[in-house]
Amino acid sequence: MPQFVDDRLNEFLQSDGGSIAHLGPSGSFSHEVCSSISSRVRPEPRRTFGDVIDAVVTQNVDYGLIPIYNTIAGQIIAGWSALLDSGVIAVGAYVHRISLALLAREGATLSTIRRVVSHSAALRQSSHWQRRMLIGAQVSHSTAAGAALVSRTRSRELAAIGSPNLADRYNLSLVAHDIANDVDNETTFLLIQRQNDTAATDNKFQRTSQICCPVSPNVLLSRVAPEGERANERERLRSQISFTCRSGRALEIFLKNEDGSTNETLIHGCSVRTEGRYLGHIPVAATNVDRLYRAFGFQSNFLRDHFLGNIPKDNSYIVIYSRVLQ
């Protein structure tokens, strides 16, 4: 379901399609989103998020697709890290419902399976089920890559977590359905384009209003207190950061003024003093600010009450800052 996409771009996607680089191999959730955008779209699988960005920047494809937020796992940090200051612009966002299943070789059962393999985001989304079943986990670069690995092995102890559609594609059996932590499991994907190739780089899209996207406590901790820092200092920062992030989905939004100053940051409805470090940004071509906020997992009613009257309606930048309570 599209959250924001320019009308002219949508017309092009429906008529001429174009190629879209995505995290592969075929059968990943990114691949499913590509197929849902338009029947004329040509999905182009890539191994990593960085490879997707490179394909867009070097014009080997028309567009790229990067997952950036999940309603269970929170912000997808690997996706954001690839996007920041990369020379692309976000021209659309799509929300895709995620259904997670357990897939294994024929003959495997819950009693034979000892380990699961999947993308880190899918593993976080199904963490409750894994703990309940006392199953170990290993990370693959995508859900489809995990299914491909299981398909190549003869072991009945290894299973993959991913879309039920992977079963037919990789000749696997469905061992369990709906294993996500919550039935309301959705991921937001950004559709990106090389920045110089889009009309969205006109002056009307170059505004100074900015959205500060939250990142996970561990990512913030690694930035402000690297390994080797005194243990007590790291623990102090961890407790502060955990309060700030609230399961990695804190509301940290500010406006950058023309003179470079910022207004106070509101976190979960409380005005606090914070200290920020700039980590990078990505421009966004979006005219519907309310939809833009929802696409990044922010609580739209909170934002509507506090921010919508103050933010220009024509465009924003997403800016990643690390924020620590003073």
Span 197-222, pLDDT tens digits: 544 334 333 332 334 444 444 444 44
Instruction: Parse the chain into domains and list their residue ranges.
Output: 2-97+185-198, 101-176, 204-325
Q: What is the pLDDT of residue 255?
A: 34
CA of residue 194 relative to chain centroid, distance: 19
Query: Quick check: do 2-97+185-198 and 101-176 share a fold?
Result: yes
Q: How far is CA 173 from CA 47, 105, 113, 137, in A?
A: 25, 6, 13, 19
Q: What is the pLDDT of residue 146?
A: 95
Identify the CATH number of the domain defined by range 2-97+185-198. 3.40.190.10
Q: What is the pLDDT of residue 184?
A: 85
Task: Identify the residue with better confidence: 133 or 316.
Answer: 133
pLDDT tens digits, one per residue of 106-157:
999 999 999 999 998 899 899 999 999 888 999 998 999 999 999 999 889 9
Determine the Cα–Cα distance for residues 187 and 94; give it in Å rounded to an integer.
8
Quick check: 247 and 216 in contact, CB under 8 A? Answer: no
- Enter the DSSP assignment of 314: S
Is residue 23 over pLDDT 70? yes
* pTM, two decimal places: 0.68
Tokens of 184: 């309301």
Q: What is the pLDDT of residue 313?
A: 37
Task: Identify the residue with better confidence: 66 or 269.
Answer: 66
Q: How far is CA 44 from CA 51, 76, 99, 133, 311, in A?
A: 11, 21, 22, 36, 36
CATH superfamily of 101-176: Periplasmic binding protein-like II (3.40.190.10)
Which of these ranges, 132-136, 235-239, 256-260, 287-291, has the smallest mean pLDDT?
A: 256-260
